[in-house]
Structure 1
Amino acid sequence: FRARYLAAADGLHSPIRRSLGLARPSRGVRRWGIRRHYATAPWSDRVQVYWAPGAEAYVTPVADDCVGVAILTSTQGGFDRHLTEFPLLAAHLAGQPHGTDRAAGPLRQPVSSRTADRVLLVGDAAGYVDALTGEGLGIAFAGAELLVNCVVSDTPQDYDRQWRKMSRRYRLLTAALLEASGFEPVRSRLVPAAAALPAVFAGMVNLLAS
């Protein structure tokens, strides 16, 4: 195949990004994600977040008879092992049939640039901070729109700058929350603080969503 441009949407550990020398070494604590679908009716119509000393669990309603449970953690291991860190959730899911586990990581993927001549990185290949805030798809769709506009206008050199501007708020807030949650004295106070200051918590969520 021959083309004027290549949109590299080949995932978190993008081989194209690596082959072009655009990947950068990751600093700090490495984190992984592992997900499982359970064949059970959702018990809430909202995403629920469970907080443990070294991990978070996210329960998402998928269908009338299915929930997705994703665990983010800084330690490697199987799903069942990590689920024991959330006793209430583990008890709720005990005995429920489930699908196969899917895992990804390390999650943090720094990138020096999203462009190399006429190759443009998009989606997770364009760089990743963490799944903590659940903004991966939103950033990917917004990045895809920028990429298309740059291709149509034949200005691939503008893509990286536009991508950084578009994602700046997400990257800064996610990195700050990740840094804070990695410090145990702060981590143990995050949920009580959110409960005590709901307006502040809602404001942060709205900043990420806007």
Structure 2
Amino acid sequence: MKILAFSDLHLARARAADLVAASADADLVIGAGDFCNMRQGLDQAMDMLSGISAPFVVVPGNAESVDELTQAVPNGVHVLHGSGVEIGGLQLFGLGYGVPVTPFGSWSCDLTEAAATVMLLHCEAADILITHSPPQGVADVTSQGVSVGSEAVYSAIDRIQPKLALCGHIHDSWGVREKIGVTDVANLGPTVNWFEVS
């Protein structure tokens, strides 16, 4: 299956146009959160992405709540947050929000490590794990050289060993690809990222 994946669109119109154009060649499109900015402009972001006709799976970032995202997406788009879906024979599981809790204040949609751990335990197996936050120590380094990823996400990847783990959130690590065991981990960013999973 040919998969187009991205994260952290943040209302970037030119990036959205690139993603929509590329999606014509995709069997599946995955958006790993932060479609808007500080809980503002989510409907506008979904309008920008409305040309995507392939199956589309999203998780909320810390810039939008799961309820806001569920309300904003077009019919047929799958919103995952502590839940999974099967598409084309692949098992996908998603968890959104910032993990651990960010320093950004009341607008940010965040989870504690403990809460994220509980939600990720609902996933017993997956081909693709989609989280907004990266795993601790992998594709999670800020421009100051600080590792700010999630222990809960790392533990879930280590336990489940999906074929692919997709994330975003830490802008300074966009484009970074590493491995945890057999799992390919990718911090996506708002560009066109292609993956093949069978």
TM-score above 0.5, yes or no: no
Q: Which has the higher Rg, Structure 1 or Structure 2?
A: 1
Larger helix percent? 1
Larger strand percent? 2
